Structure 1
Amino acid sequence: MEMQKALLALEDGRCFNCASFTGGGEAGGEVVFNTGMTGYQEVLTDPSYQGQMVCMTYPLVGSYGTNPEDLESDRIQVAAFLIREYQEHPNNFRSTAALRDYLISGNVLGICGFDTRALVRHIREKGAMRGMISTKDLNPASLTKRVVSEVPSMAGLDLAGGVSTDRPYRLVNDEKEFVGASDLNPSVWRTTDGRPRVTAFDFGIKYNIARSLEAAGCEVVIVPARFGAEKAMSLKPSGVFLSNGPGDPEPLDYAIDTARALAGKVPMFGICLGHQILGLALGAKTYKLKFGHRGLNQPVKNLLNGRIEITSQNHGFAVDQKSLPADVELTHVNLNDDTCEGFRHKSLPLFAAQYHPEAAPGPHDAQYLFDDFVNMMKNR
């Protein structure tokens, strides 16, 4: 396998000599790390990673190839993929393409051959920062200057709008079945058997969230991020879901206003970015974490029953639990840093989780949250 010399430069001047296993090119974005040993294909296609260069802490990546069944969206979302050692020959009966070929098909740079754990330690100590990879500009001083001038900060950017659908759709066998223009009406629903009907706002929704809602007994129609509260209510849904997505929630005024307008009118459930949007809508504040939570092994304590859940997470921002209003109850905390991982309103039918109960990849400890949402809609 042919490799090309490459350079990774961070905005603070730290540089790593490495090699591209996907050919020549350049990429920039916020450098983040994921602590999972597996699940790299789900990571690559998770819209919450839009605009980020993802480093896997586990050193050997690529051993099981890629396949169409493990996608979480219809394309690769990461800006670049950073690993210690690429496994060139996958050995898995489900594999249909090698990781290298999959990245090349999406025009995404993959680099290897450097100390990824040194990179992760640096990010943990100094905080998340912008970076740039190049196979053309191998001068550390030059590439570092370009990071500062060419790569935007994630803070203040509306990244969700770039990954949201522009038309409402259903997910059928992981294919989008568009259901018409934005002026939908209640006739969009197919079921007449009393199943809960969920309008899901797409801020970067993962396929397995839609699958999990359907597995819990819901019919799901996914709508654009800017669909609005009035249009959502015109569908007469049983409940509204606010999805995961990339980046900073504060610039998403349209989403925050929608969540605020819907609160109390219909049961609501938010995950990840949806958790932050709902928090802002209720009057809480959000902030950027030093280096984020990304992996499939994050311990969370459920304060309602005292149980510990091992969870899948992917977020760089969080809700400030000290800013939660008096009528909002903290329900889950992260045992690593005591950050807010979930809340519920004391009187209105709404709740949210910062982590990913649908997993993909990861454990299924929190799948019960989808059942809680269904029960909330049925008891409304």
Structure 2
Amino acid sequence: MSKAVLVLENGDIHTGLSFGAEGETLGEAVFCTAMTGYQEMLTDPSYHKQILVSTAPQIGNTGWNVEDGESLLGADAADRRWSAEFVDRDDPGRIWVAGYAVRNPTRRVSNWRATSSLEDELAAQDVVGIAGIDTRAVVRTLREVGSLRAGIFSGAAVTDDADMLARVRAQAPMAGADLATEVSTTQPYVVEAAGEPRFRVAALDLGIKANTPRMLAARGVEVHVLPATASFADVQAIEPDGFFLSNGPGDPVTADRAVALAREVLAAGLPLFGICFGNQILGRALGLKTYKLKFGHRGINIPVKDVATGEIAITSQNHGFALEGAEGDEFDTDFGRGRVSHVCANDGVVEGVELIDGSAFSVQYHPEAASGPHDAAGLFDKFVTAMENRAAHQTTATSAPEGTDS
């Protein structure tokens, strides 16, 4: 392993050893507090253009396998009609992070499912990383100063400090970044329902994770995944029973197309469910504004309060932006009365919004998190219930005698 350095835009330089590919990479430095699930994190499209710093001291124990990736590496998904398992045994999953910083990479892989080591997969996918640095010091800086532009330089890419710092500072910030179309599928594809299909859902891919269609398919939902550039006509052509807004990277202020599409869906009365970036899109469609968090929420141990019930769920999160608002807020929208439905128990950040009639809702966290926790998995059942209620209402309206109220 050769020398590597992590350079932060505030001038901090951390020296370690190369980990994965050698070279140069730039991105926003963020940290995640999760102790497990590094493969799911690295393949999450929401980490696009970010250098991930892991707070867990030892990384890589379970190696890399071809089952746990949250995105696709091989042939375009549109070339396949997926089974409910949504697994390609030959696809290790595309790594989306711009770079990876760890303290102590394991020297030996120990897991029966492993097909390679973490470092080998990073190298195979040309992902530049750094190991052997004091990640606690890096995280302390990011908590105090906020997420920073950064760069990892290793091997021949290591030059003088001033030059590397200038390269870091020359890159565009995450605020104002329009990234969803960079991670979205370019063509529609279908994930079949497990068993007899009960409903059909149009899912807008803003950076969708593989486990989301899997969770819906397990509930009898046929999922039609659409590119981020899809129009309302594309949605209507599917004749869906519901509409899903996925997670994804970038600043929600740039997602005007997705917001306009969500408004058309709401006006049509389709049940809508959103996750993470999708929560910010629904919030904007309902008239709320967004802002950039100081250092974001990234981990699998973050408590969220359901405002209506007071119940707490331990959740997986990965976001650097949030909706403006507070616990107890209710507001008028063009589609009925809305409210803040969930807040973070740590800092009060808005973690969910909904229309009070139950036709549309979203959360800032990840109920589909494959590596857990699974406290919030019931939100997929809530979405199915919303589609059931709409179907029942349509049946009642159709069967009502002429000249009577339905």
Report the TM-score when normalising by structure 2.
0.86
CA distance in 1, matches of 2:21, 2:324: 42
**C-alpha deviation, 1:330, in angstroms:** 1.2
CA distance in 2, matches of 1:108, 1:171: 29
Secondary structure class of the residue paired with 1:318? strand
CA distance in 2, matches of 1:231, 1:215: 25
Cα deviation per residue 1:137-191 (whole Å; 9 max; x = unaligned)? Answer: 3422221111111x2111111100100111100247xxxxxxxxxxxxxxxxx99
Secondary structure class of the residue paired with 1:343? strand
Is the 1:284–1:325 Cα contact (8 Å) retained in structure 2?
Answer: no
Change (3 A) 1:142 1:369: same
CA distance in 1, matches of 2:181, 2:238: 22
Matched letter for residue 264 of structure 2: A
Is the 1:7–1:140 Cα contact (8 Å) retained in structure 2?
Answer: no
Secondary structure class of the residue paired with 2:379? helix
Candidates 380, 385, 397, aligned match of 1:375 = 385
- The answer to whether residue 348 in structure 2 is matched with residue 338 in structure 1 is yes
**C-alpha deviation, 1:306, in angstroms:** 1.4
Gaps of 5+ in 1: 173-189
Is the 1:21–1:110 Cα contact (8 Å) retained in structure 2?
Answer: yes
Is the 1:284–1:324 Cα contact (8 Å) retained in structure 2?
Answer: no
Change (3 A) 1:35 1:340: same
Candidates 53, 56, 64, aligned match of 1:66 = 64
Counterpart position of 1:29: 27
CA distance in 2, matches of 1:324, 1:14: 43
Counterpart position of 1:312: 316
CA distance in 2, matches of 1:50, 1:26: 16
Counterpart position of 1:77: 96
- The answer to whether residue 21 in structure 2 is matched with residue 8 in structure 1 is no
Candidates 179, 195, 201, aligned match of 1:159 = 179
CA distance in 2, matches of 1:321, 1:123: 24
Secondary structure class of the residue paired with 1:78? coil
- The answer to whether residue 277 in structure 2 is matched with residue 273 in structure 1 is yes
**C-alpha deviation, 1:231, in angstroms:** 1.9
Matched letter for residue 224 of structure 2: V
Gaps of 5+ in 2: 73-93, 391-406
Counterpart position of 1:40: 38
Candidates 172, 190, 198, aligned match of 1:195 = 198
**C-alpha deviation, 1:203, in angstroms:** 0.2
Is the 1:341–1:353 Cα contact (8 Å) retained in structure 2?
Answer: yes
Matched letter for residue 310 of structure 1: I
Matched letter for residue 152 of structure 2: I
- Write out aligned runs for 1:44-193 (5 A): 44-74=42-72, 75-135=94-154, 136-149=157-170, 151-171=171-191
Is the 2:198–2:220 Cα contact (8 Å) retained in structure 1?
Answer: yes
Is the 1:42–1:360 Cα contact (8 Å) retained in structure 2?
Answer: yes
Is the 1:217–1:374 Cα contact (8 Å) retained in structure 2?
Answer: no
CA distance in 2, matches of 1:191, 1:142: 54
**C-alpha deviation, 1:348, in angstroms:** 6.0
Counterpart position of 1:254: 257
CA distance in 1, matches of 2:181, 2:359: 27
**C-alpha deviation, 1:362, in angstroms:** 1.9
Change (3 A) 1:116 1:347: same
CA distance in 1, matches of 2:116, 2:158: 30
CA distance in 1, matches of 2:152, 2:100: 10
Is the 1:285–1:324 Cα contact (8 Å) retained in structure 2?
Answer: no
CA distance in 1, matches of 2:330, 2:42: 33
Counterpart position of 1:292: 296
CA distance in 2, matches of 1:191, 1:315: 30
CA distance in 2, matches of 1:337, 1:26: 35
**C-alpha deviation, 1:72, in angstroms:** 0.2
Change (3 A) 1:59 1:304: same
Cα deviation per residue 1:50-93 (whole Å; 9 max; x = unaligned)? Answer: 11000110000011101011000011100011100110210111
Cα deviation per residue 1:66-124 (whole Å; 9 max; x = unaligned)? Answer: 10110000111000111001102101111110001110111001211110010001000
Change (3 A) 1:209 1:191: closer
Percent identity, aligned pairs only? 49
Cα deviation per residue 1:187-209 (whole Å; 9 max; x = unaligned)? Answer: xxx99956111000000000001
Change (3 A) 1:145 1:97: same
CA distance in 1, matches of 2:67, 2:266: 35
Matched letter for residue 175 of structure 2: A
Q: What CA RMSD, in Å, does the superposition of the two structures yield over aligned residues?
A: 1.6
Secondary structure class of the residue paired with 2:64? coil
Secondary structure class of the residue paired with 2:331? coil
CA distance in 1, matches of 2:119, 2:340: 43
**C-alpha deviation, 1:23, in angstroms:** 4.2
Cα deviation per residue 1:13-33 (whole Å; 9 max; x = unaligned)? Answer: 111111102242000000001
**C-alpha deviation, 1:252, in angstroms:** 1.2
Cα deviation per residue 1:316-374 (whole Å; 9 max; x = unaligned)? Answer: 00011158633211111101110011111123610001000011222100001000000
CA distance in 2, matches of 1:197, 1:6: 49
Matched letter for residue 57 of structure 2: P
